[in-house]
Amino acid sequence: MKTQALLLALASLRLAAPALSAASGHACCDAAPAAAAPLSDRSLYQLDAIWTDDTGAAVKLAELRGRPVVLAMFFASCTYACPILVHDLQAIRDALPAETRARTKFVLVSFDSDRDTAAALHAYRGKLQLDAGWTLLRGADADIQELAMLLGVKYRRDANGDFSHSNLVTILNAQGEIALQREGLRGETGPAVRAIALAAP
């Protein structure tokens, strides 16, 4: 599989570098019981890209380690698919048992490096009433491309600066490996809820 081959290559290139700083002190990592264990070559947490969240803070995906993650790529000014996609993630979230919901991170990564500034993402958070269980990220075009390629998300910027894109929901397990992917809008929540339950450490 292409994705896995790429990740294998990434992993071997980066063997010399620690995948995760044990002394990062980031709140989400402190509770991870296996934070020091090596990541597999299928883990997206091997990626070194630095993203920016909607508060302007720098974030590496590896900081999400230790909990289930539900991730989708989007752009804030999308008027059709992305609002439905976010609603789909909300439906998954609503279907989780309270304890699992509290442990699961919902992550939206923007395609739109021009318009989705931290402030624009913050406004989007407010507009869609996304609470602290959601992380909204923006990044450099090369990092967006790399993540999209590894997830299998296809996207293209049009002349107006908007994007056509696949609608893909990805569930990552606690180690950042893809546990389940769901393509398309308005899918059932059952398989995602089960995958998240299995992904919970």
Site residues, Cu ion (CB under 5 A): 78, 81-82
Minimum CB separation of residue 112 from Cu ion in Å reads: 10
Task: Give 82 or 89: the residue with its C-beta nearer to Cu ion.
Answer: 82
Cβ-closest residue to Cu ion?
78
How large is the angle between the packed helices 81-95 and 190-199, nearest 10 degrees? 60
How far apart are CB 163 and Cu ion at their closest, in Å?
6
The C-alpha atoms of residue 94 and residue 150 are separated, in whole angstroms, by 28
CB of 74 to Cu ion, least distance (A): 6
Question: Looking at beta carbons only, is 123 or 200 nearer to Cu ion?
Answer: 123
Write down the least CB distance from residue 135 to Cu ion, Å: 18
For Cu ion, give the closer residue by CB, 71 or 82: 82
Looking at the Cβ atoms of 45 and 124, the one nearer to Cu ion is: 124
Q: Which is nearer to Cu ion, 82 or 148 (CB)?
A: 82
Per the structure block, which two tokens stand in for 94?
A: 């609503």
Structure tokens at 147: 């993540």
Closest distance of CB 165 from Cu ion, Å? 6
